[in-house]
Amino acid sequence: MEDERGHAFPAPEVKDGKVESEGVFKGEKPLDTPDSKIEPPLSVYEQIKGEPYTIRYFGLTDWLYFMNNPQFDVSGLKDQVSKVEQFVKNEIERKSLMDSSESYRSIIENIKVKLKIDPLQKSEVTFAKIYKFIKRIRGKSAYKK
């Protein structure tokens, strides 16, 4: 091929239509596969995903920066999140539930019902109410059926 000045240059290569994911070596799976979307057991969730499940459940990813930087965590968010995590894990063990995010959701949903939390309430307000409830009943059963 030539441009308007008569300079020759090679023709562009035509590929067979297969587009390989960017940043993935040939033969490797991209990170966004159905396998990567499988949730790990709750007991190892934080080690695998890099954040506590509580953060994901309540949609509080904005809090991660403050939790990971102690000089900015003036309200003790890391401590609050870890207490909720520990409480739920203890309840899962006490009730002999599966070590899963479904068990986490079940326990938190039962607490929400007990506290009559509106489903449309902001997640940070819901988290604060649940944290206060857990703090108040620490050492007791979360809810009596």
The tens digit of pLDDT for each residue in 35-57 reads 557 889 999 999 999 899 999 99
- One-letter amino acid for residue 133 of the chain: F
- Residue 15 covered by a domain: no
Reported for 98-103, long-range contacts at CB under 8 A and 24+ positions apart, including other chains, are 99/41, 99/42, 99/43, 100/39, 100/41, 100/42, 101/39, 101/42, 101/45, 101/53, 101/57, 103/42
Query: For residue 128, is it within any domain?
Result: yes
pLDDT tens for 61-120 read 888 888 888 888 878 898 999 999 999 999 999 999 999 999 999 999 999 999 999 999
Provide the number of structural domains found in the chain: 1
Residue tagged 């003036």 (tokens): 74
Query: What's the angle, vertex CA 136, arms to CA 74 and CA 66, rounded to 5?
Result: 20
Residue 145 resides in a domain: no
Domain of 90, in residue numbers:
41-137
- Looking at the whole model, is its pTM more than 0.85? no
